[in-house]
Amino acid sequence: MKLKSRDVSTVIIINKSDAATKTLQVKTKHISRLKYYALGLFSIISLLILTIFIQQKQSAQHELERQQLLSQISNLKGQIPETVKKTEEDHEAQSYVQAIEGKLKKINDYLRKRGLKSFTAPAMGGNGNADTALSDKEVYMAYDSYLNSVVNAVAFTPMGYPRISAFTSRFGYRSDPFSSGRAEYHPGIDFKGNYGDGVKCTANGRVVAAGWAGGYGNCVRVKHNNGYETLYGHLSRITVKVGQKVSVGDKVGQVGSTGRSTGAHLHYEVRLNGKPVNPTRFLTLNN
């Protein structure tokens, strides 16, 4: 279909370094709509900027929550209230004491399964505060409630080691192992391992991927609470299935060298809202 002359506008392009000029024919309707195109482009850019800002704000909030959790765990030993002696009048208080002791044991179990050092609770006996306005029962009720939130956070936040061994590669930019002449971004950390060594989950969650994943080879991804995911790559064998619920310390696979790999090792990632973050921040309680 041949365009009529009034449907086409001619744009003259002048090159200062060249005497010659160039012309470009554009449909007139496009020129008249330039302001709408510009407005649309501006809207898209504004939306992208807003999305980035929201993601950064969410990441900052998650980091604050993580730091608060680590602080809570580190301070548990000093915050454990002493309990009353077992008398006939103290049975109800003692039920809370037993619940507290059970939760502290559960937290220690979670820490040990991750390769982290547990803490020892002091001997229990008497609240030791004559001026307190709270009864022993009220103190234990409050502390029991507090521990409920700590146990839940400890269970679902990736912490500790998927396997105890030395690092062979860290998070961030590194020399490409397949081409030493260039750098590449490494979104996780690599743990040294032998073919067939066990790989453990670092938080409670649900398996959302278990299979071949390009350069990751045989790979497992586990979704946890609060936007966290962990990824275990280059496995020789996968021992879980998609949809399966896993707990801290459960075996998800075995060390291998599948995918884009130069030797047997475990590639481990921690992701927050789909974006990789440095896993070393989650390995100990001191970061």
CA–CA separation, 180 and 138 (whole Å): 64
Residue 131 has pLDDT above 50, yes or no: no
Confidence at 122, pLDDT banded by 50, 70, 90: very low
* 3-class state of residue 248 by DSSP: coil
DSSP labels, 105-165? HHHHHHHHHTTPPP--PPPP-----TT-SS-HHHHHHHHHHHHHHHHHHHHHS--S-SS-S
Per domain, the residue ranges of the chain are 5-32, 68-156, 167-282
pLDDT recorded at residue 125: 44
pLDDT recorded at residue 195: 94
Residue 75 has pLDDT above 80, yes or no: no
List, for residues 162-192, the tens digit of each pLDDT value. 987 878 888 888 877 776 667 788 899 999 9
pLDDT recorded at residue 47: 77
| 235 phi, psi to nearest 5 deg | -70, 145
Task: Please give the DSSP secondary-structure letter assigned to residue 179.
Answer: E
CA–CA separation, 157 and 225 (whole Å): 7
Number of other CB atoms surrounding residue 154 within 10 Å:
25
Q: What is the assigned CATH class of domain 167-282? A: mainly beta
Confidence at 104, pLDDT banded by 50, 70, 90: confident
- Per DSSP, helices labelled H in the chain are 28-32, 34-79, 91-113, 136-156
List, for residues 79-101, the tens digit of each pLDDT value. 555 544 444 446 666 777 777 77
CA–CA separation, 221 and 184 (whole Å): 22
